[in-house]
Amino acid sequence: MSMNSLLGFLIAIALFIGAIVFSTDNYLIFLSFESLLIVVGGTLAATFLGQEARYVLLALRGALSIFKPYRMGRNILNQEVGRIIKWGYLAQQKGVVALDQEAKKVEGDEFLAFAVEQLLSGYSGDEIRENLSLVAETTFERNMVPAGILRNMGGTAPAFGMIGTLVGLIIMLDDMGSDPTQLGKGLAVALNTTLYGVIIARMMFIPAANKLTQRNQILRFRHELITEGIAMLADRKNPRYIQDRMNSFLDPAIRFDIDRQIKK
């Protein structure tokens, strides 16, 4: 469980509920099944109308995935540099073919496994860099589709909130002649739909889209880092040169240090 995502969501809900509790005793006026149906149902209907169903489902699954822990942190990037340097020493001593066993250890990592496969196939550094850069970019674009759909849903939800409010106002004005005293109550109920639309957009869809975007950017950066390392292995670069080159991608606080690792 991603504690920061869960905590942020719970705090947002708590602040909203707290504002209601401290402002009024009539809490039930903020509950409206009809308003929720218009916003959620309308947003989903419009999204399925404008997007392929498969990608909409991926987007909804992606929105839930933000509550799962994300392993691609800063320390992982440091470990990736260490792994490439280790392979550099191995290739220096026994040749690139010695990495065949290492390839079996990363079979669950599709990008890294493909990168090692390119290396073992005898491609040059430039060829590997070109191929892996293409894979990294297309993977990023493919992974960004759900984030884009969630961001569109974040724009659609408030629109359906306004639609629901207009529907409520029309009904309220139609009934106003028979009982003008119900005007205030009817207006409050009508505005619930706008409230739901803004809350769902700003507390669910847009934050989920932003987090998915950030995670995919981190993943793309990791792919670029690996691409550079594998390309240098293909060019038979010295492990220390590989370290310095790959460290140039990283924040100084997480750069890999061969000498420090040897001392350990």
In a domain, 43, yes or no: yes
Mapped to the 3 state alphabet, what secondary structure does the chain carry? CCHHHHHHHHHHHHHHHHHHHHHCCCHHHHCCHHHHHHHHHHHHHHHHHHCCHHHHHHHHHHHHHCCCCCCCCHHHHHHHHHHHHHHHHHHHHHCHHHHHHHHHHCCCCHHHHHHHHHHHCCCCHHHHHHHHHHHHHHHHHHHHHHHHHHHHHHHHHHHHHHHHHHHHHHHHHHHHCCCHHHHHHHHHHHHHHHHHHHHHHHHHHHHHHHHHHHHHHHHHHHHHHHHHHHHHHHCCCCHHHHHHHHHCCCCHHHCCCHHHHHHC
In a domain, 27, yes or no: no
Q: What is the pLDDT of residues 83-110, one digit of tens each?
A: 898 888 888 888 877 788 877 778 788 8
In a domain, 1, yes or no: no
Q: For residue 128, what pLDDT is reported?
A: 94
Q: What is the pLDDT of residues 185-210, one digit of tens each?
A: 667 777 889 999 999 999 999 999 99
In a domain, 3, yes or no: no
Q: For residue 183, what pLDDT is reported?
A: 66
Structural domain that includes position 192: 32-263
Q: Which of 43-52, 58-67, 175-184 has the lowest mean pLDDT?
A: 175-184
Q: For residue 182, what pLDDT is reported?
A: 62
Q: For residue 262, what pLDDT is reported?
A: 47
pLDDT exceeds cutoff 60 at 263: no
Domain count, the chain: 1
Q: For residue 199, what pLDDT is reported?
A: 93
Q: What average pLDDT score do residues 223-238 get?
A: 92
Q: For residue 180, what pLDDT is reported?
A: 66
In a domain, 14, yes or no: no
In a domain, 162, yes or no: yes
Q: What is the pLDDT of residues 125-144, one digit of tens each?
A: 999 999 999 999 999 999 99
In a domain, 87, yes or no: yes
In a domain, 95, yes or no: yes
